[in-house]
Homo-oligomer: A and B are copies of this chain.
Amino acid sequence: MSIKKDYIRPLDFKNGRVDMNHGAGGRASAQLISELFARAFDNEFLRQGDDGARMPALPTGHELVMATDGHVISPLFFPGGDIGSLAVHGTVNDVAMMGATPLYLSASFILEEGFALADLQRIVHSMAAAARAAGVPVVTGDTKVVEQGKGDGVFISTTGVGAVPAGRRLSGSLAQVGDVILVSGTMGEHGVAVLSKRESLEFETAIESDSAALHTLVAALLAAVPEGAVRTLRDPTRGGLATTLNEIARQSSVGMMLEESAIPILPQVDAACELLGLDPLYMANEGKLIAVVDAAHAEAALAALQAHERGKAAARIGVVTEDPHRFVQMNTAFGGRRVVDWLSGEPLPRIC
């Protein structure tokens, strides 16, 4: 039938570009959804094909967790990942940091007119692969298109829903004086990988983003210690380790004392930061966590992290102190002591 003909011409994923029709809610929108999104993310919930998705009740004895993250990273493709995989990892990790099992994701795409369908396809496929690897399906989504010059290729906002045992409490507000501060691995790769790609810098040793889902690492950690021993989990993304520790210190009204020599940093990250005039403690991570743990169980927690593929370089980097000023301080490698402040001054934009 002639009136169906523009629908049966398949999308041109080789040379095609996003146009305003793809966001207008008509036939072109439906085609983009069916030929790209529905196919790539395919799962029983998305297949319902309604304005939302319907899933089973949470497991008995569990409460609901919800987290959301907008992703505007530039460039869209970077060593070790792209905005698609990052949009899965970022939100899966936010849910996991609540001590919850991530169950479902939603995705909202804001596309710029003229964006290459080939790039969009590559991003969606990467996102779908990350979701599948994490075992967390994208169950519902939305796509909008803005005019050229009103967006930047693609922005992706993801929301994650998870289930947490009703008795479990993890929060940035629960750190206690005497607790031990652990990190799950080396700091700063994501930020340095993105910035060096943006500046077209090449280093002798390639630096890849650490972008990864951490929910199995969290599960291993929580299984290794009694309930309550892990006070706080946080992934040090924007603003890096320094800023995230300051957030926790503020929330819990405590101070922190770090040992600079104990903070794991890859030599090539250190070198790149020196070249760029940056501090690795402020560089974003997308596959690492900070755990504040009851000192009595810190050894077991550290061992559990180190036994997991994503936590091999886990380390004990400091302790929680009493401090009415809520300062994060650090004994430096040179024997001095300094305050590790929040990120301020020059921002590092669009790192996630």
> Are the C-beta atoms of A339 and B3 separated by less than 8 Å?
yes
Distance in Å from the Cβ of A42 to the closest Cβ of chain B? Answer: 16
> Are the C-beta atoms of B24 and A343 separated by less than 8 Å?
yes
Nearest CB in chain B to that of A112: its residue: B150
> Are the C-beta atoms of A66 and B161 separated by less than 8 Å?
yes
Q: Which residues of B contact A160 (CB under 8 A)?
A: 52
> Are the C-beta atoms of B347 and A172 separated by less than 8 Å?
no
Q: Which residues of B contact A54 (CB under 8 A)?
A: 63-65, 98, 100, 164
A238 CB within 8 Å of chain B: yes
> Are the C-beta atoms of B95 and A347 separated by less than 8 Å?
no
**8 A Cβ contacts from A21-63 to B:** 21, 23-30, 48-58, 61-63
Q: How many copies does the complex hold?
A: 2
| Partner pick for A68 among B49, B106, B235, B243, CB 8 A cutoff | B106
> Are the C-beta atoms of B343 and A27 separated by less than 8 Å?
yes
Distance in Å from the Cβ of A153 to the closest Cβ of chain B? Answer: 9
> Are the C-beta atoms of A52 and B146 separated by less than 8 Å?
no
Q: Which residues of B contact A88 (CB under 8 A)?
A: none
Q: Complex Cα distance A187/B238, Å?
A: 45
Q: Which residues of B contact A141 (CB under 8 A)?
A: 68
A229 CB within 8 Å of chain B: no
> Are the C-beta atoms of B140 and A25 separated by less than 8 Å?
no
Contact digits for A55-93, partner B, Cβ 8 Å, 1 yes 0 no: 111100111111111111000000000000000000000
> Are the C-beta atoms of A66 and B140 separated by less than 8 Å?
yes
Nearest CB in chain B to that of A103: its residue: B64
List 5 interface pairs A-B (beta carbons < 8 Å), by A numbering.
A21-B344, A28-B344, A55-B63, A57-B166, A66-B104
Distance in Å from the Cβ of A184 to the closest Cβ of chain B? Answer: 15
> Are the C-beta atoms of B64 and A55 separated by less than 8 Å?
yes
> Are the C-beta atoms of B146 and A152 separated by less than 8 Å?
yes
Q: Which residues of B contact A95 (CB under 8 A)?
A: 52
Distance in Å from the Cβ of A148 to the closest Cβ of chain B? Answer: 11
A286 CB within 8 Å of chain B: no
Q: Most B CB atoms within 10 A — which of A109, A110, A237?
A: A110
Contact digits for A215-249, partner B, Cβ 8 Å, 1 yes 0 no: 00000000000000000001101110001000100
A132 CB within 8 Å of chain B: no
Q: Which residues of B contact A27 (CB under 8 A)?
A: 342-344
> Are the C-beta atoms of B347 and A20 separated by less than 8 Å?
yes
Nearest CB in chain B to that of A141: its residue: B68
> Are the C-beta atoms of B25 and A238 separated by less than 8 Å?
yes
